[in-house]
Chain A
């Protein structure tokens, strides 16, 4: 069965410091990977996605994630965080054999400290 593991439930970090949110997936077949962000009292918004091609994907607000097949990881990074990045971040996977069903991790709460 497919599963997604987010190892850190809470990550506090000071403003302008770098951050890494970890995500590991389990699928052994072709997989699509996503990071979603959920701001307080808002719905899930797509942050970035890996479908194929370049293993390094970037978002418009400075986040990036790298697909690492050998380590089955898709960690999310940002070199310098802002207060407005405070949110819940969810890693998700889907695959060619799942009928577009998404499997989500349990989420990582990122808190940026001024």
Chain B
């Protein structure tokens, strides 16, 4: 594909439901990142993968948040027992290691009601 894709683009969940957000990175890009962007804010780092290894998950706000990338390509961000404060746009980005530029997907807008 031409770029990073994310699905679904929009998700409405009732409080307490579990959600799974998918990211399809650019083929061959080793690094993958998840960010959370609240309304009116800049993206905030959640977690980072290099291939299938999750090297940094310091930004995950609680143990309800879980991310995986089992084969080093597609990644899934899972949020269990969603809360209203989880409402945000979740961005996936990937990068080639050499120059540090990150390529962003369109994001998934999650609304928890």
| Partner-B contacts on A (CB < 8 A) | 4, 6, 32, 34, 36, 42-46, 49, 51, 90, 92, 94, 99-107
Q: How far is the CA of A45 from the CA of B104 in the complex (A)?
A: 7
Residues from chain B with Cβ under 8 Å of A100 in the complex: 31, 33, 48, 95, 97, 100, 102
Residue pair A43, B33 in contact (C-beta under 8 Å): no
B101 touches A46 (CB 8 A): yes
Return chain A residues, CB-CB under 8 Å to B106. Answer: 42-43
Size class of the contact patch on chain B? 20 to 34
Question: Do A99 and B55 touch across chains, with their CB atoms under 8 A apart?
Answer: yes
The answer on a CB contact under 8 Å between A104 and B107 is no
Asked, given contacts A32-B100, A51-B99, whether A104 binds B44 with beta carbons under 8 Å apart, the answer is yes
Which residue among B42, B99, B107 has the maximum number of chain A CB atoms within 10 Å of its CB? B42
